[in-house]
Each structure stands twice: as C-alpha cells, then as structure tokens.
Amino acid sequence: MRIELEKLRYGTELVKRGFAKMQKGGVIMDVTNAEQAIIAEEAGAVAVMALHKVPADIRASGGVARMADPKIIEEIMDAVTIPVMAKCRIGHVAEAKALEAIGVDMIDESEVLTPADTFFHIYKKNFTVPFVCGARSLGEAVRRIWEGAAMIRTKGEAGTGNVVEAVKHMRMMNHAIYLIRSTSEERLYSVAEKFASRYLELSRLVKEEMGIAVEKEIIYEGFTFEDIVEGIYDILLEIKRLGRLPVVNFAAGGIATPADAALMMQLGADGVFVGSGIFKSSNPQKFARAIVEAVQHFDEPEVVAEVSKELGEPMKGSEISKLTEFLQTRGT
C-alpha cells in the first residue's frame, strides 16, 4: 500500500468543528431509549442525545444526575444511523473518557447533570471526539471554545419548557459579538484578561489560605494565566473578524414548540436542541416532525402556523420565577 499513514490525522480541530457544522439547520433530540431514538430519526432529527432521564424528569426527581448507562447509550447507537451524543458531568473527565471509549459521536459537557468540578471544565483538546458545551454569555462561550469545544449551545433553562432563558442567552451572545466587532484590538486584550480571570479561582483560594504570592504559576492543564489570556485573545480576534463565533452555535434549554424553535432560528441559532419538549408532549411523533419543519422554514410564518395545528398538549412547562434550582448557573 502507498498510503502515508502519518498524513492521516484524527480528532483535529477541523474534523471536530466540521462534524458540528454538518449538524447546522438541524434538530437534535433528547432520547432515553432506542424506541425514542428511532422516532427521532424518522422525524428527521440530525442527531440524538442519549440520556438517562430528560431534563424535566431530572428536575422533578432531584438527587445527583450522572452520565447515562453506557448499555442504554450503546442500544441507542445500534438502533439509529444518525450521530448519537451523550452527556457527561461538567469537569468529569472519567465519564467523558468512558463515553469516548464506547464511541459516542459528540459529548455534551452539560450543566443539566450535576457538576463534578466547581473550578474547571474538561480540557477538551485532549479528546478525539468533539464536545458541545452550554453558555449563557460570550465569556462562557469563549472559555469553552478555548478549552476545545467544537459547538456551543445556549444553556437556557433546561426542563422548564420555557424559552425565555434561551432567548436571553442568545441575545446576550449576539449583543456581545456586535460589541466585539467595533472594539479595538488593544481593548480586546483587556476583555480577554477579564474572560480568563475565571480560571484563577482555584489558585486565588489556595493562595489566600496559604497567605503566599507566586510569580509564575501553572493554573490549569499546563497553562499559566498569561497563556490562557493569549489563547482567549486569539479567539476574540477571530470573532471580530468573522462577526460570529468560530464554532457552530445552537439553541437549547426550554424549547417546547415549533414556534419556539423558529424563534431561536430567527435570533441566529445555527440549529436547535429539543430536550423534554418532544417526549413530554402528548404526541411525540407529531411534535418531532413539526419542530424539524419549523426549523427548516423558520422564516415562513405560514409553515410554522401549519405545522403547529392540532399538535396536542405541549409539555406543561414552568415559570422561571417559581424555580428553586437554576441549572444555568452551573459551570461558568
């Protein structure tokens, strides 16, 4: 054979971000078993997210939410031909490595599960498999991208069936990007320093307890604070040049109806995650198909109206001000 093996490269940034780009304009649906995964694929989902429980049930049952049973994830992988994603806890490298080992196509390091690390997210550049991470703001998004996330999604407020938080996060992101475009390179550097300061938390706490100052210090995964600022500065320059995030940006967290999905697309989302909205509705098949069509035709009100007819009951949903627990504040 004449193949030069050294030229074949797995898990490069291009390969990981490329995978996320192939999902654009699509709907990714939360499923808890093979049967639901087949319904999602038949409805036209571009991928499924394998979960132990949908966010609404996680919210209702309380307790620690963890990675799904790998056996169930494998059953889902065997049942459908579209990509299968799965969630790991924030900072839980061992869960992520286990998910990579069984061959999931993308890992969601998700605030919907109970975080395993209050200081740091996973350094995702150490993985072959691509990651998606939630973000409420540009700062969160840029940190996740620096860590190696190939896709960003709004956090919204998962399991509520209430789109208001997803809208808030998309608007905050869009406005921040708008401001970045007209910010000088010099001032962008101070934005980078501000964004990177989140990584100092562990070091600050420890040094405060010890009462010492340290000059040059590795704070995360072999990087000094200055290294991280440089990395984040480069990402901000790229955002300024592109006028958008350098990775795909989906909407997630509270999308319950076709019109919700269309709204998020109108706000500039590259695609949509639907969690509890489909399998907590009274007619999952119909809801799933309707949301796929609404995303495709988000700018055609007649289509959105048509697919919204006689859908039956959407998930019940909850008022944000009545919540006692916010998933979106996890993992910043």
What gap in Å lies between CA 142 and CA 83, rounded to an integer?
A: 25
Regarding 320 and contact with another protein (CB under 8 A), the answer is no
Q: 290 — phi, psi (to 5°)?
A: -65, -40
- Among 72, 82, 237, 323, which residue sits at the site for another protein (rule: CB under 8 A)? 82
Least Å distance between CB 310 and another protein? 19
Q: 318 — phi, psi (to 5°)?
A: -140, 155
Handedness of CA 148, 174, 54, 271 (dihedral sign): negative
Regarding 15 and contact with another protein (CB under 8 A), the answer is yes
Residue 309 DSSP class: T
β-partners of residue 274 are 29
Least Å distance between CB 89 and another protein? 20
Whether residue 87 lies in the annotated active site: yes
Residue for token digits 């509270």?
A: 254
Spot the catalytic one: 16, 87, 155, 280. 87
Q: Which is nearer to another protein, 107 or 229 (CB)?
A: 107
- Among 57, 74, 75, 100, which residue sits at the site for another protein (rule: CB under 8 A)? 100
What is the full DSSP assignment across 109-135? EETTSPPS-SS----GGG-SS-EEEEE
What gap in Å lies between CA 213 and CA 79, rounded to an integer?
A: 56
Identify which range of 1-9, 138-146, 276-284, 307-315 contacts another protein by CB under 8 A.
1-9
What gap in Å lies between CA 332 and CA 315, rounded to an integer?
A: 28
Regarding 24 and contact with another protein (CB under 8 A), the answer is yes
Closest alpha carbon to 263 in 218, 303, 221, 299: 299
Residues 167, 249, 53: CA angle, nearest 5 degrees = 75
- Among 50, 56, 83, 161, which residue sits at the site for another protein (rule: CB under 8 A)? 83
Residue span 122-141 as binding mask against another protein, x where in contact by CB under 8 A, dash where not: ------xxx-----------
Interacting residues with another protein between 223 and 242 (CB under 8 A): none
Q: The tokens of 238 are what?
A: 């790229």
- Among 23, 32, 110, 281, which residue sits at the site for another protein (rule: CB under 8 A)? 23
- Among 217, 300, 313, 325, which residue sits at the site for another protein (rule: CB under 8 A)? 300
Least Å distance between CB 245 and another protein? 13
Regarding 267 and contact with another protein (CB under 8 A), the answer is no
Least Å distance between CB 281 and another protein? 20
What gap in Å lies between CA 225 and CA 159, rounded to an integer?
A: 36
Regarding 213 and contact with another protein (CB under 8 A), the answer is no
Interacting residues with another protein between 39 and 68 (CB under 8 A): 41-42, 44-47
- Strand ranges in 239-321 using DSSP code E only, listed in sequence order: 248-250, 272-274
Residue 51 DSSP class: -
Regarding 21 and contact with another protein (CB under 8 A), the answer is yes
Q: 191 — phi, psi (to 5°)?
A: -65, -40
Regarding 103 and contact with another protein (CB under 8 A), the answer is yes
Residue for token digits 């169930």?
A: 72
Residue for token digits 């036209």?
A: 44
Q: Which is nearer to another protein, 46 or 56 (CB)?
A: 46
Binding site for another protein (CB under 8 A): 1, 3-4, 7-12, 14-15, 18-19, 21-26, 41-42, 44-47, 77, 81-83, 100, 103-106, 128-130, 292, 296-297, 300
Catalytic residues: 87
